[in-house]
Amino acid sequence: MTTDWRSPHPFLLSPTEMGRADRLTIEGGIAGIELMEQAGRAVVRAAVELVSAGAQILILCGPGNNGGDGFIAARCLAAMGYGIDVLLISSADRLKGDARLAFERMGLPAERIAEGQEGQKRLPMLLDSVDLIIDGLFGAGLDRPLEGEIKQIVDAVNDSGKPVLAIDLPSGVNGASGQKLGSAVRAQRTVTFFCEKPGHLLFPGRELCGAVVVAQIGIRPDVFGDIRPQTFENAPALWRHAWPMASQQGHKYTKGHAVVFSGSVSSTGAARLGAAAALRAGAGLVTLASPPDAMMVNACHLTAVMLKKLAGEKAVQDLLSDERYSSVLIGPGFGIGAGTRSSVEAILRASRATVLDADALTSFSETPEHLFSLVKLCDAPVVLTPHEGEFARIFPQVEGDKLARARLAARLSGATLILKGADTVIASPDGRAAINHNAPPWLATAGSGDVLAGITTGLLAQGVSGFEAACQAVWLHGEAGNIVGPGLIAEDLAPALKEVLRALVDKFGEG
Ligand SMILES: NC(=O)C1=CN([C@@H]2O[C@H](COP(=O)(O)OP(=O)(O)OC[C@H]3O[C@@H](n4cnc5c(N)ncnc54)[C@H](O)[C@@H]3O)[C@@H](O)[C@H]2O)[C@@H](O)CC1
Ligand SMILES: Nc1ncnc2c1ncn2[C@@H]1O[C@H](COP(=O)(O)OP(=O)(O)O)[C@@H](O)[C@H]1O
Ligand SMILES: [K+]
């Protein structure tokens, strides 16, 4: 998948914030039923793309406004000549507000509408004969796990193997977290309204949604000004303002000097991957700081990256007394233990923009509070880049969904967090969080994380702030992965950045 990186805004709204966007719009003079009418019509547009003329469509409707969207779609699709059956999981008497109005306007013959128990009885027969199922059971209002008869309906839908178009979210998926509540519909396509929700981007929600279509239903983007969302899709629109554009009159020292700490003689490759990536991401200079025993092996492999011997007790302090080093990466292949902890301490006390990865994180498994206090002493941005295993070691008390965990961990540690994986979450201690969605699965290969840490370090070297550098790096890493494609090994990533940067700089230049 390649990202549509020209999306005009990067906001994601939680279901609660989306409810607020609806309310603000309604207070601004657009009736709720009008929004529902637009939502239902967007569902119709998506449905007709999935079936041929005259197809049989089963519309499952829940007790709230998600069901209301389903009633509108039922009316329009029936008028277009599709064979429509509506299965309402509650009784029609209990419908309220706009959903009730939409039900009353539906105009389907009574025999095409099944309510409650009756619907359940008819379900196997209906599932047998349909070409498409539209899921309007629950959307933003899902507030508890699917259980009992509702869970049975959802399981039967999934077992039927028939294509499903979900309204807003596949029922059972929590829009705020992407987590499954009890059971969840597996859709081929999902039509959501106004903008995406975190649950569309976070797994397992992302997979259960299928392809997501965002439809505009009359909500004006100025509601963002009132809501001030703090959750974002990781796309250039989020961090373009912070992009370190090369200045015509710049020179290598104005682009910063990154230092990457190498492991000992038998584990040097990870740091070199990081160093090459830092250089490719635009740092003016990159130095690999190497223990004496690894000098020769590093020297044999380096060209544009410079090499410096690191020896003696105060080696890190001595090195960083040179103010020109503007960012530091430590962790890849560095080794776990007291030596690593004291190097990290010296780096953070030197207040340099720092990326702590791999062994630099694991070394604090027993004393994470000590790490967090050092981070808070550092006057420059600190970025931690754990995968799930490293995260569990340094944040054992932090639980919940991925977005909530990343946010809480950033707040606890005082660092920007890159919680890696297929749906990497970047979180800032100030509460902002971005969800990444351009990373292909072939990034899951040895050394790929070292490259990500290096790209982040290269951006920090140029003075980009922590959250923006982390978001840019994760996005660049994903795009590079897409360019290389299947068969990718970590060494391929830094060279592929050339093409990614070319396209990005060209687009930014176009305004
Ligand atoms: N004016 C609006 O607010 C608009 C809302 N829209 C639609 O409305 C949806 C949100 O509507 P609602 O807030 O009514 O919420 P939903 O329709 O998603 O569901 C709410 C209802 O489901 C019940 N419920 C929640 N979880 C349940 C569970 N596990 N088992 C059984 N019952 C459960 C709740 O008690 C409540 O009655 C959106 O997803 C979207 O599809 C659109 O029509 C656009 C306009
Ligand atoms: N299934 C996946 N889809 C997309 N990206 C992935 C997937 N699995 C891992 N990645 C990415 O690959 C990188 C792996 O990093 P890491 O686990 O630290 O590996 P290493 O330590 O070998 O470099 C991270 O950027 C992570 O987000
Ligand atoms: K739904």
Looking at the predicted structure, is the pLDDT value of residue 6 above 80? no
442 Cβ inside 6 Å of ligand 2: no
466 CA distance to ligand 1 middle (Å): 38
| Helix intervals (H) in 294-441 | 295-301, 315-320, 338-349, 358-362, 368-377, 388-394, 402-413
Q: Are 201 and 264 in a shared domain?
A: no
Whether 248 is in a domain gets the answer no
- Residues 292-298 have a mean pLDDT of 98
CATH code for position 445:
3.40.1190.20
Q: For ligand 1, what atom is nearest to the CA of residue 69?
A: 43
- Residues 308-329 have a mean pLDDT of 95
Whether 4 is in a domain gets the answer no
- Residues 14-31 have a mean pLDDT of 97
Whether 24 is in a domain gets the answer yes
The residue nearest atom 24 of ligand 2, judged by CA position, is 449
Q: Are 128 and 168 in a shared domain?
A: yes
Q: Is 320 annotated as a binding residue?
A: no
Looking at the predicted structure, is the pLDDT value of residue 23 above 90? yes
- Take residue 416 and report the two structure tokens written for it: 């920007």
- What total number of domains does the chain contain? 2
Q: pTM, whole model, 2 decimals?
A: 0.97
- Residues 309-320 have a mean pLDDT of 93
Looking at the predicted structure, is the pLDDT value of residue 7 above 80? no
Q: Are 225 and 259 in a shared domain?
A: no
Q: Are 188 and 87 in a shared domain?
A: yes
Q: Are 262 and 115 in a shared domain?
A: no
Q: How confident is the model at residue 511 (pLDDT cuts 50, 70, 90)?
A: low
Residue that has been written with the tokens 């090369």 in this structure: 246
Whether 300 is in a domain gets the answer yes
202: which DSSP letter?
S
180: which DSSP letter?
B
> pLDDT for 76-116, tens place per residue?
999 999 999 999 999 999 999 999 999 999 999 999 999 99
Element (H, E) at 12: strand 11-12
Instruction: Please choose, from the candidates 129, 127, 191, 190, the residue with its C-alpha nearest in 3D space to the C-alpha of residue 155.
Output: 127
Strands lying side by side in the sheet with 164-167:
113-115, 83-88, 56-61, 132-136, 164-167, 189-193, 211-215
- Take residue 118 and report the two structure tokens written for it: 């009756």
- Take residue 140 and report the two structure tokens written for it: 């933003």
Give the whole-angstrom CA distance, residue 334 versus residue 312: 16
- Helix, strand or coil, per DSSP, at residue 346: helix
448 CA distance to ligand 2 middle (Å): 6
Q: 176, 195, 229: which is the final residue of a domain?
A: 229
Q: Are 137 and 93 in a shared domain?
A: yes
CB 195 within 8 A of CB 7: no
Domain that holds residue 166: 11-229
CB 355 within 8 A of CB 460: yes
Element (H, E) at 11: strand 11-12
CATH code for position 151:
3.40.50.10260
CB 131 within 8 A of CB 70: no
In this structure, the number of other CB atoms found within 10 A of the CB of residue 141 comes to: 15
168 CA distance to ligand 1 middle (Å): 10
140 CA distance to ligand 1 middle (Å): 5
CB 88 within 8 A of CB 61: yes
Give the whole-angstrom CA distance, residue 427 versus residue 304: 33
CB 102 within 8 A of CB 40: yes
Q: How confident is the model at residue 312 (pLDDT cuts 50, 70, 90)?
A: confident
- Helix, strand or coil, per DSSP, at residue 172: coil
Spell out which residues have Cβ within 5 A of ligand 3, the ion.
135, 139, 166-167, 171
Q: Are 273 and 194 in a shared domain?
A: no
**pLDDT score of 5:** 46
Whether 345 is in a domain gets the answer yes
Q: Residue 355 — φ and ψ, nearest 5°?
A: -110, 125
Mean pLDDT of the chain: 96
Ligand nearest to the CA of residue 165, numbered in listed order: 3
Whether 194 is in a domain gets the answer yes
> Is the dihedral angle over the CA atoms 365, 368, 370, 372 positive or is it negative?
positive
CB neighbour list of residue 451: distance below 8 Å, 6 or more residues apart: 273, 274, 277, 477, 490, 493, 494
In DSSP terms, 337 is beta-bridged to none
**pLDDT score of 3:** 42
CB 86 within 8 A of CB 122: no
> pLDDT for 372-416, tens place per residue?
999 999 999 999 999 999 999 999 999 999 999 999 999 999 999
Looking at the predicted structure, is the pLDDT value of residue 259 above 90? yes
Give the whole-angstrom CA distance, residue 80 versus residue 88: 21
Per-position b or e across 31-67, b if 16+ CB within 10 A of its CB: ebbebbbbbbbbbbebbbebbeeebebbbbbbbbbbb
Q: Is 429 annotated as a binding residue?
A: no
**pLDDT score of 253:** 86
Q: Are 289 and 166 in a shared domain?
A: no
Ligand nearest to the CA of residue 19, numbered in listed order: 1
Q: Strand locations in 428-506, DSSP E?
A: 433-435
> Is the dihedral angle over the CA atoms 426, 176, 152, 67 positive or is it negative?
negative
**pLDDT score of 510:** 74
- Take residue 466 and report the two structure tokens written for it: 């922590």
- Residues 257-282 have a mean pLDDT of 98
Ligand 1 binding site (Cβ under 6 Å of any ligand atom) = 22, 32, 35-36, 39, 62-69, 138-146, 150, 167-168, 193, 217
In DSSP terms, 388 is beta-bridged to none
CB neighbour list of residue 80: distance below 8 Å, 6 or more residues apart: 44, 48
Give the whole-angstrom CA distance, residue 172 versus residue 167: 12
> pLDDT for 342-353, tens place per residue?
999 999 999 999
- Take residue 386 and report the two structure tokens written for it: 């754990």
State which of 44, 105, 138, 152 you would mutate to test the pocket of ligand 1, scoring each by most atoms of that ligand within 8 A of its C-beta.
138
Burial of 369: CB neighbours in 10 Å, binned 0-12, 13-18, 19+: exposed
**pLDDT score of 483:** 98
More confident residue, 9 or 40: 40
The residue nearest atom 19 of ligand 1, judged by CA position, is 141
Q: Are 308 and 218 in a shared domain?
A: no
Q: Which residue type sits at 284? A: G
Q: How far is CA 86 from CA 116, 177, 222, 253, 293, in A?
A: 11, 29, 36, 67, 73
- Residues 332-360 have a mean pLDDT of 98
Whether 3 is in a domain gets the answer no
Ligand nearest to the CA of residue 60, numbered in listed order: 3
Q: For ligand 2, what atom is nearest to the CA of residue 357?
A: 18
Largest CA distance in the chain: 86
Looking at the predicted structure, is the pLDDT value of residue 498 above 80? yes
**Chain centre distance of CA 411:** 18
484 CA distance to ligand 2 middle (Å): 15
In this structure, the number of other CB atoms found within 10 A of the CB of residue 306 comes to: 15
140 CA distance to ligand 3 middle (Å): 8
Q: How confident is the model at residue 218 (pLDDT cuts 50, 70, 90)?
A: very high
Q: Which residue type sits at 88? A: L
Whether 249 is in a domain gets the answer no
Burial of 349: CB neighbours in 10 Å, binned 0-12, 13-18, 19+: middle
β pairing state of 164-167 and 189-193: parallel
Q: Are 423 and 374 in a shared domain?
A: yes
Q: How far is CA 320 from CA 28, 311, 357, in A?
A: 57, 13, 19
Q: Are 209 and 279 in a shared domain?
A: no
**pLDDT score of 28:** 96
Looking at the predicted structure, is the pLDDT value of residue 32 above 50? yes
In this structure, the number of other CB atoms found within 10 A of the CB of residue 485 comes to: 11
In this structure, the number of other CB atoms found within 10 A of the CB of residue 23 comes to: 12
Ligand nearest to the CA of residue 269, numbered in listed order: 2
The percentage of residues in the chain with a pLDDT greater than 70, rounded to a whole number, is 98
96 CA distance to ligand 1 middle (Å): 11
Q: Are 493 and 422 in a shared domain?
A: yes
**pLDDT score of 248:** 87
